[in-house]
Chain A
Amino acid sequence: MAMSITQPRVDYLNHEHTLASWLLTKDHKRIGILYLLVVTAAFFVGGLFATLLRLELATPAGDYVAADTYNKLFTMHGVTMVFFVLIPAVPTILGNFVLPLMLGAKDVAFPKINLLSWYIFTTGFLFTVYAMVSGGVDTGWTFYTPYSSRASNTNVMATGLGVFITGFSSILTGLNFMVTIHRMRAPGLTWFRLPLFVWAIYATSLVQILGTPVIAITVLALAIERFLHFGIFDAALGGDPVLFQHMFWFYSHPAVYIMILPPMGAISEVIATFSRKTIFGYSFVAFSSLAIAIFGFLVWAHHMFVSGISVYSALVFSFLTYAVAIPSAIKVFNWTATLYRGAIWLQAPMMWALAFIGLFLIGGLTGIFTASLGIDVHLHDTYFVVAHFHFIMVGGAIMGYFAGLHYWWPKITGRMYSDIWAKVAAIIVFCGFNLTFGPQFILGYLGMPRRYWAYPPEFQTLNVLSSAGASILAVGYILVGIYLVASLFWGKVAGDNPWHATGLEWTTQSPPLPHNFETQPIVTEDAYEYAVREVKVG
């Protein structure tokens, strides 16, 4: 500990400097950084939309923006956050960066395809941005027909094309990661020695490969109806509006697991590292990821209990929804049990991870309400649902992403950020988040429908609380941006393994070498064997 640590002489960041060396890179680490830039930009844009939404909702009357503007804002908030932040964030940024490192590999299986994925993703994002600035889109991120196919005269298809293009990036990334996990593991790194993050990425890739083509087909069908007037979804043309919802949710429900599984994997890493012990019930946590990925495909119609599906199919989908909740519950219980008799080192990433547990817990438990047939009739399309999925998507996925980002930041940049400020930010975000979305559960049960530009005055107090919470949340996120950027200039040099963690990514230098490892790592023990390591060291 006494010797001073310095930045390595050659690493993946400084070995080449030209713009071309970034834009034509095949290095998974640099591609991870490229994704970080685009996703961060998208998060900022989506967050800006959210700010304007909460500003409008501070008063019951529709006064701050026009109704059509409001409708575009919530649509573009949803599209940006879902397709360009939540789905890509953890797999493409953290997954790209650390997956090959965790496997002891030089890169992903198909480095050129990996770069292609980023170009496709960025093209899709730019297309969507174009659709937004050239007039916007007002269908809601769900694009329900026949509103989207017949009534809306906004940029529906330009946005749809953006989503369509981006989907291919998601499929290629999933394919790339899956092959990488199968083929590129270091000698001795058997399946059950894999870090749980790898299991989570594997399960996610499965969903990306199997699910994403369906949203592509759905967008295509929408385009055919909009341009060629073939009756697919429009009842006036002989189509069925409810069919669209089946197709849309057949992808978009599994997409929820694309969003939440990778952050869950990151949380497993952080909790094991800062508890200094192996994850309680490793194989249960690993297989619960696969169970979620597979059963996640069988619950789509729980979004449609009041959409005109039959009573009996509603029964089946409600039952299966309870079944798919169990693997998520298993994860939470195992993370909690991992803390038992650990050596809890409360560094910033752990603070974010504990905040994740708290918020994901609420998100998961409120899913029991929406899965309940008798209650969902009342709750469907109200603010309760808005609160529920924000607890999962923001409280869960984004908190998990931040936990992972704080955990691997020293590895990615070679620098430490301010631990104190990171903890303060975690607390601000946790409090701001609860204040933003907690009142929305009550609003929803009171009956306030979602996507309302104006609302009855009796809902104002709760909406004001929510808007106040949103401003606290914004401060928290901006703070994160500030101290992370500051760390690049003034941060302490991190060293190879600032958290004293197990895992191959911590055995190489920070930032890593262009080709990751000097010699091929060989794995001789299970993941998270802190106790064993202690014996060896001692």
Chain B
Amino acid sequence: MFPGISLFPERASALAADVDHLYYFITAVAAFFALVVTIFVIFFAAKYRTKDPMAVGARIHGSIPLELAWSIIPFLISIVIFVWSASVFFDLYRPPDQTLEIYATGKRWMWKFQHLGGQNEINELHVPLGRPVKITFTSEDVLHSMFFPAFRVKADAIPGRYSSIWFEANKLGQFHLFCAEYCGTKHSGMVGSVFVMEPAAYQQWLGGNAGGATLTSRGERLFGDLACNTCHVSDGRGRGPSLANKFGSFEELADGGRVTVDEAYVRESILTPQNKVVAGYQPLMPTFQGLLSEENVMALVEYVKSLRASSEARAEAAATRDATPQEHK
């Protein structure tokens, strides 16, 4: 009547195995110390037990070598764990160069995913097997946390910021997606599934769900509708800087600082343009805070991203628009 107990969650990525190996190691270390202390406590309590309330123990005050030993040895072991953990953490944190990009928004109480090809999903995510996937996401209201136990990854969705997680699924199937950061009434209902598919089946799924425009073309249309293109002209002579080939580069700021043009900076520049004005330009741009949904901001970000590609690549991208998302990279 009750389901059986498993000790480990399903493992659907290579990094999940790395996390598990570290977990085994720490479990072994912890079990060792737990056993040693427990055995000593029970052994001493039994061996030196007395029923005579007037009995007196030996006059031992301590031992410096022992104190040093049980301070230094655990410390050294914890250094080993720390270094190993940090290296796994870096792997979990840094995606490889070529990833399949997916955008997502958390809002009470759903996860909304946007694929580059324009496919949208709610509380479901379809990804291909054997291909690194990077999800860039934010929250529209309160904190949420995107958690895929099978990939051992999680990051908070924070209003006003972009977070990202990445994974490379190596097992077909359906796995849990949870919201891990408490977000109110239906927090435990903000759950869903990730479907890991054969690449061919995935392509078929993409084709079957392609509805509207691609994310890039939606961004491009917004860029025109919001009249961004009146200032951000591509020859660099506009009132705003040209955005061609900007993504991924460094930008000198009017206050002397320097930023990397990444998703977060593009988002910030749309919503609070006065914060980091590019050197040589006036702070003329109006804010779009409150005028754009997070989904539309993401479309704009993706459009700015697409401008870094060479003109040939762009032409190609335009030709294959509405086809497969990975062609856009």
Residues on A lying within 8 angstroms of B by beta carbon are: 62, 67-68, 71, 138, 140, 144-147, 150-152, 234-236, 240-242, 275-278, 280-284, 306-308, 311, 314-315, 318-319, 322-323, 325-326, 329-330, 332-334, 336-337, 339-346, 354, 357-358, 361-362, 365-366, 368-369, 372-375, 377-378, 380-382, 442, 445-447, 449-458, 460-462, 464, 499-500, 530-534
Contacts and interface: CB of A to CB of B under 8 A. Distances in A.
Contact of A381 (B34, B63, B154): B154
Contacts of B37: 332-333, 336, 357, 361
A334 B61 CA distance: 10
A282 B26 contact: no
B101 interface: no
B147 A342 contact: no
Nearest to A235: B160
Contact of A454 (B38, B54, B67, B189): B189
A532 B58 CA distance: 10
Contact of A445 (B9, B34, B55, B85): B9
A372 B179 CA distance: 22
Contact of B153 (A325, A333, A378): A378
Contact of B50 (A315, A336, A343): A343
B56 A235 contact: no
B309 interface: no
Contact of A357 (B41, B75, B84): B41
Given A152-B184, A242-B158, A372 B81 contact: yes
Interface string B179-198: 11111111111010000000
Contacts of A276: 55-57
Contacts of B90: 311
Contacts of B188: 62, 67, 449, 451-455
A365 B189 CA distance: 32
Nearest to B138: A235
B89 to A, nearest CB: 4
Given A308-B161, A455-B188, 16 more contacts: A138-B184, A147-B182, A147-B183, A235-B158, A235-B161, A241-B158, A275-B48, A276-B55, A326-B74, A329-B71, A337-B62, A343-B55, A375-B26, A377-B19, A449-B178, A531-B57
Given A306-B154, A357-B41, A381-B180, A500 B61 contact: no
A534 B82 CA distance: 48
B18 interface: yes
A451 B147 CA distance: 14
A358 B59 contact: no
Q: How large is the interface on B (under 10, 10 to 19, 20 to 34, 35 or more residues)?
A: 35 or more
A154 to B, nearest CB: 10
Contacts of B41: 336, 339, 354, 357-358
A283 B74 CA distance: 19
B47 to A, nearest CB: 8
Interface in B91-141: 91-93, 108, 141
Contact of A240 (B88, B160, B179): B160
8 contacts: A146-B159, A151-B184, A241-B159, A326-B78, A337-B66, A343-B56, A372-B81, A456-B191
Interface centre among A152, A308, A532 (most CB of B within 10 A): A308
Contacts of B161: 235, 308
Contacts of A240: 160
B2 A461 contact: yes
A377 B158 contact: no
Contacts of A341: 48, 57-58, 60
Interface of B: 2-9, 18-19, 22-23, 26, 29-30, 33-34, 37-38, 40-41, 44-45, 48-63, 66-67, 70-71, 74-75, 78-79, 81-82, 84-93, 108, 141-143, 145, 147, 149-150, 152-156, 158-161, 163, 176, 178-189, 191
B27 to A, nearest CB: 8
Given A374-B89, A381-B147, A146 B59 contact: no
Given A311-B89, A374-B92, A377-B92, A329 B185 contact: no
Contacts of B185: 67-68, 71
Contacts of B160: 235-236, 240-241
Contact of A374 (B4, B62, B87, B147): B87
B153 A308 contact: no
B30 A67 contact: no
Contacts of B44: 336, 339-340, 342, 344
Contacts of A452: 187-188
A142 to B, nearest CB: 8
Given A150-B142, A318-B82, A357-B37, A330 B71 contact: yes
A533 B7 CA distance: 53
Contacts of B85: 318, 372-375
A73 to B, nearest CB: 13
Nearest first, the 5 closest Cβ-Cβ pairs linking A and B are A447-B149, A374-B88, A235-B160, A277-B57, A373-B89
Contacts of A372: 22, 26, 81-82, 84-85
B202 to A, nearest CB: 24
A23 to B, nearest CB: 39
B56 A458 contact: no
Contacts of B183: 147, 151
B70 A329 contact: yes
A366 B30 contact: yes
A12 B158 CA distance: 56
Contact of B56 (A277, A332, A336): A277
